[in-house]
Amino acid sequence: MVVRPHRPWAVVALEGGSLLAFAIYAGWLAGRLFEAVSGALDLLALLASGVVGWLLADLLSGLVHWAGDTLGSEHTPVLGPSFIAPFREHHDDPQAMVAHGTVELVGSTALLALPSLVPVTHLVAFEGQGPLRLALGGVLLATLLGVVVTNLVHRWAHMDRPPAVAALLQRAGLILTPARHERHHTAPFDGWFCISSGLLDGLLMRIGLWERLNARFQGRS
């Protein structure tokens, strides 16, 4: 049983404010991108970039998850208690994260996303700049969105009764499903690390990415 530490109000406020700011800026950037669409090619580029960004987020979720599960320990300086411990605790008690609140799960990731989201939303022109600029904006937005919701999506995959919208997205296969994720929590516990949508998991297992990373980095930390 994992004992959850007390969360200072300043941390809760920072994470809550970050999540709110992320939601506002993500909506704002999405609006700017769609406003700048001026033809079928622009629209196609924007929609395709959404798919690419969503898959990129899945890849990033897998890499970060692999690092958290595999490298170092809870006692590693700096990253041990804050980054590695939650991954190890999750394997000791996978259901514990179901009790965590949304702000706690995604607030700190939202904070990390703001330094790239805010300047792009304010400073980058999309109107009349062509499909490539739109696609780059779309990839950034979809990637950040996928990364920020990863822990929430991961929690939903562990819930017996997830919210209706989550169940709908799981049935559509757009986010991590309990069946996809169960493979990660099954012996030998050394694969299926993607926890955003899990769409890339099959491909990454086939190319042996995790085995290659284990061979390259395990035992060096």
Note whether 69 and 87 are within 8 A (CB).
Answer: yes
Minimum separation from the CB atom of position 155 to Zn ion (A)? 9
Those residues whose C-beta lies under 8 Å from the C-beta of residue 131, and which sit 6 or more positions away, are 41, 42, 44, 45, 46
How many residues touch Zn ion (CB under 5 A)? 1
What is the DSSP code string of 100-163?
S-HHHHHHHHHHHHHHHHHHHHHH---TTS-HHHHHHHHHHHHHHHHHHHHHHHHHHHH-SS--
Residue 69 engages Zn ion in binding (rule: CB under 5 A) = yes
Stretch that binds Zn ion, among 24-32, 63-71, 117-125, 144-152 (CB under 5 A): 63-71
Stretch that binds Zn ion, among 65-73, 121-129, 143-151, 164-172 (CB under 5 A): 65-73
CB nearer to Zn ion: give 69 or 74: 69
Stretch that binds Zn ion, among 40-48, 69-77, 133-141, 197-205 (CB under 5 A): 69-77
Minimum separation from the CB atom of position 36 to Zn ion (A)? 38
- How buried is 196 (Cβ within 10 angstroms: 0-12 exposed, 13-18 middle, 19+ buried)? buried
Stretch that binds Zn ion, among 10-18, 61-69, 77-85, 120-128 (CB under 5 A): 61-69
CB nearer to Zn ion: give 37 or 153: 153
> CA–CA separation, 70 vs 76, rounded Å?
12
Note whether 157 and 195 are within 8 A (CB).
Answer: yes
Minimum separation from the CB atom of position 2 to Zn ion (A)? 13
Interface ranges with Zn ion (CB under 5 A): 69
